[in-house]
Amino acid sequence: MNWKKEAKEKQLKFKESLGLKKSGTFGKKKYTHILHPDNVKNGANFYCYKNPKEWQALKEWAIKDKGKKVDFTGLGLTNMLRSEHIPFNLFYPVEKLRKENPELLNKFLEKLLDNNIHIGKVTRIKIEFASDLHKSKLLDDNTSFDAYIEYVDGYKKCGLGIEVKYTEKSYPFGVTEKKRMLDKDSEYNRLTRDSKFCKPENISKLKEKKLKQLWRNHLLGIKLVELKELDQFHSVHIYPQGNTYQKEACDMYSDCLMENNKQSFVPVTFEKFISVTTDVLSGKEHKDWIAYLKKRY
């Protein structure tokens, strides 16, 4: 079955289980997988639906890069087939864990990344975040992480830059983006050459439509290391097992990397995320969240 069709069936079944009968619109047309504004304002796209206190807490946490507030009424966050809502469902409960049980959070993240990292303390978890620096100091574009986790390991300051996909494939080339990718003297290409994280013969492959976002996300973290904002960085790409396009993109991207840099890119399926969550977070306070993830995704 086509993955998007399969995902749509799953999400409409989930919507029905919530008792939601009305649909939202795009343009003048109604779509069953877009939530109605009445349901949007009550948080129907999130794990805390029908829990006003938790819904309010999530909204207060949802501050993007440079202090911008999240518009929960925007199309991306009302469309059940897009990924924009998913980082909130995955990482706000993780942010709560940071405050309430930091040692358990360390164990969870270390296992999620196959124990390739060691965490002393998670210092912050952000949504739609790039850096405290202005973009002109970074890649000078709009690249940001869907979620960002910063932690310390001894004296090292480390970061996880996380991209989340659901039904998405690749997005079209932007005019400026394409120009920078083809310009051998652009920051994209300069940083790729200088950091030596990619096999030289594979640099041209990074500019392909299927790989370009993975490349840019990874470059942002590499830039943070170059600027000494971080000592170590891992780029994490989360996608559902059924999205074979993303699986192929991850395999292709990993093959482009130098052997000693392969572990800096970490593909994680939704299924693995949920499995690790189930194994590590066995307390009753996590039961409802885990049940939600299993039912919905």
226: left (phi over 0), alpha (psi -120 to 50) or beta: alpha
H/E element, 60: helix 52-61
Each residue's pLDDT tens digit, 78-116: 999 999 999 999 999 999 999 999 999 999 999 999 999
Q: How confident is the model at residue 66 (pLDDT cuts 50, 70, 90)?
A: confident
H/E element, 24: strand 23-26
87 within 8 A of 127, measured Cβ to Cβ: yes
How is the chain split into domains, by residue range? 3-296
Residue 14 burial (10 A CB sphere; 0-12, 13-18, 19+)? middle
Beta pairing, strands 265-269 & 232-239: parallel
Classify each residue of 136-146 as buried b or exposed e, where b means 16 or more C-beta atoms within 10 Å of its C-beta.
Answer: eebbebebbbb
Percent of the chain with pLDDT over 70: 100
What is the pLDDT, as a whole number, of residue 67?
86
| Helices 287-296 + 3-17 axis angle, to 10 | 130
What is the distance between the terminal CA atoms of the chain, rounded to a whole angstrom?
A: 16
Residue 65 has pLDDT above 90, yes or no: no
What is the pLDDT, as a whole number, of residue 256?
97
139 within 8 A of 215, measured Cβ to Cβ: no
What is the pLDDT, as a whole number, of residue 134?
95
- pTM over the 0.75 mark: yes
Q: Residue 27 phi/psi, 5° resolution?
A: 70, -125
Q: How far apart are CA 254 and CA 261, in angstroms?
A: 9
Give the sign of the dihedral formed by CA 7, CA 8, CA 10, CA 15: positive
Q: How far apart are CA 53 and CA 202, in angstroms?
A: 50
